[in-house]
C-alpha cells in the first residue's frame, strides 16, 4: 500500500497554508513543513491551468534538491479562483473581500489548483479544476461572514469548509478538497507515480 511505501521517504510540504497541512495530515501521510518565499509572477497571457502549474513549480524553485537524500519528496500547491474570466486572489482588505464575495454571489466560478510533486531525480506537475456555484448572498450574509471568519488569507475571500460554504454554496462540480486548497485524489495518484 502507498502509505507503507511512503514511510521510506522524508516528505516536505512547501506551504504556509493550515488547510493544506490539515488535508495532507488527514491523508495519513507523515511530513514536515518547508516554506519558501518566492515572488509569484507569471505571464498574464497564460491560461489558468498554465498559471497554477507554473506557480506550484515556482514554490519549489528556491530548494536545492541535490542537497537532499534521493528518498525525499517535496509537495507544492497553488490555488487561484477565476470568475467571469478574471483571476481573483486573496483580498487586500475588508472592502476587497466584500467586492469579491459580491462577484461570486449568484454566480459560478472555477477553482484551479496546480500541484507539483518532486524528488531530487523526478518532477511531476498537474492541476485540477472545480466549478463552484454560489446562491445569491445577501449583504447581511457577506458582512457576517467577513466579520466572523476574516477570510483575508483565502483566494476568492472564502473557505468552502467554513460557514459560508455550508449556507451559500448550491453545487460543486469536481473535487471539494481542491476548493479547500489541495486536490487530494490527484496528490495520491502523483505520489504513487513518483514512488515507481
Q: Which of 102, 110, 103, 106 is nearest to 174 (CA)?
A: 110
Per-residue pLDDT of the chain (196 residues; tens, 9 = 90+): 999 999 999 999 999 899 999 999 999 999 999 988 899 899 999 999 999 999 999 999 999 999 999 999 999 999 999 999 999 989 999 999 999 999 999 999 999 999 999 999 999 999 999 999 999 999 999 999 999 999 999 999 999 999 999 999 999 999 999 999 999 999 999 999 997 7
Question: What is each CA distance from 93 to 30, 42, 182, 193, in whole angstroms?
Answer: 35, 23, 24, 41
- The three cell numbers of residue 147 are 466579520
**pTM exceeding the 0.75 threshold for the entire prediction:** yes
State yes or no: is 93 an active-site residue: no
Instruction: Note the pLDDT of residue 89.
Output: 87
H or E element at residue 187: helix 184-194
Instruction: Note the pLDDT of residue 43.
Output: 95
Q: How many CA atoms lie within 13 A of 181 on its CB side?
A: 25
Q: How many CA atoms lie within 13 A of 146 on its CB side?
A: 22
How far is the C-alpha of 56 from the C-alpha of 22, rounded, in Å?
A: 18
- The three cell numbers of residue 33 are 513543513
Query: 35-63 burial string, b = 16+ CB within 10 Å, else e?
Result: ebeeeeebeeeeebeebbbbbbbbbbeeb
Helix or strand or coil: residue 45? Answer: coil
Helix or strand or coil: residue 93? Answer: coil
Instruction: Note the pLDDT of residue 195.
Output: 78
Q: Which residue has the cell 466549478?
A: 131
Choosing from 78, 93, 153, 195, which is the catalytic residue? Answer: 78
How far is the C-alpha of 33 from the C-alpha of 42, rounded, in Å?
A: 25
Amino acid at each position: 500500500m502507498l502509505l507503507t511505501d511512503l514511510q521510506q521517504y522524508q516528505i516536505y510540504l512547501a506551504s504556509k497554508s493550515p488547510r493544506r497541512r490539515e488535508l495532507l495530515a488527514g491523508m495519513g501521510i507523515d511530513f514536515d513543513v518547508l516554506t519558501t518565499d518566492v515572488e509569484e509572477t507569471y505571464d498574464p497571457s497564460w491560461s489558468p491551468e498554465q498559471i497554477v502549474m507554473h506557480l506550484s513549480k515556482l514554490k519549489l524553485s528556491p530548494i536545492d534538491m541535490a542537497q537532499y537524500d534521493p528518498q525525499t519528496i517535496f509537495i507544492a500547491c497553488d490555488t487561484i479562483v477565476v470568475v467571469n474570466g478574471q483571476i481573483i486572489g486573496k483580498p487586500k482588505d475588508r472592502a476587497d473581500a466584500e467586492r469579491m464575495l459580491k462577484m461570486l454571489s449568484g454566480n459560478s466560478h472555477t477553482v484551479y489548483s496546480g500541484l507539483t510533486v518532486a524528488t531530487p531525480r523526478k518532477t511531476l506537475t498537474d492541476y485540477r479544476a472545480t466549478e463552484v456555484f454560489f446562491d445569491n448572498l445577501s449583504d447581511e450574509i457577506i458582512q457576517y461572514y467577513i466579520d466572523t471568519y476574516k477570510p483575508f488569507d483565502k483566494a476568492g475571500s472564502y473557505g468552502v469548509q467554513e460557514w459560508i460554504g455550508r449556507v451559500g454554496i448550491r453545487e460543486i462540480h469536481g473535487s471539494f478538497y481542491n476548493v479547500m486548497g489541495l486536490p487530494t485524489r490527484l496528490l495520491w495518484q502523483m505520489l504513487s507515480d513518483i514512488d515507481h
